[in-house]
Amino acid sequence: QKEVEQDPGPLSVPEGAIVSLNCTYSNSAFQYFMWYRQYSRKGPELLMYTYSSGNKEDGRFTAQVDKSSKYISLFIRDSQPSDSATYLCAMKETSGSRLTFGEGTQLTVNP
């Protein structure tokens, strides 16, 4: 069983739609949760960073963590074609440097 499960998609939505991207995990020691966005032929860039449970909002993006269900989500409101990318979830325990990534979800927002 993978430590982090993420549906690879591809996911295709019309412009303006609300997008929900999700990851589940099995390691209850994970405390730090991140979402990275990776455009084609580019490296991943950090999009959202949250600690423990709760919500964090940044513009059109909202990251949600439910530690009791071992489930994290990234919501994109009013999605734009420029949001088309692969979204990687990543998580980390409180100590050590190892960051565990999901497989990534490929998103296409159609104009």
In this complex, which beta carbon is closest to another protein, that of residue 28 or of residue 110?
A: 28
* Interface segment toward another protein; rule CB under 8 A; list 2-10, 52-60, 63-71, 75-83: 2-10
Q: Which of 19, 25, 33, 34 binds another protein (CB under 8 A)?
A: 34
- The residues in 40-69 that bind another protein, with binding defined as CB under 8 A, are 41-46, 49, 51
Q: Which of 19, 25, 65, 92 binds another protein (CB under 8 A)?
A: 92
23 binds another protein (CB under 8 A): no
Q: Is 31 exposed, middle or buried (0-12, 13-18, 19+ CB in 10 A)?
A: middle
Q: Beta strands of the chain (E only): which ranges?
A: 4-5, 11-14, 19-25, 32-38, 45-51, 54-58, 61-66, 71-76, 85-92, 100-101, 105-110
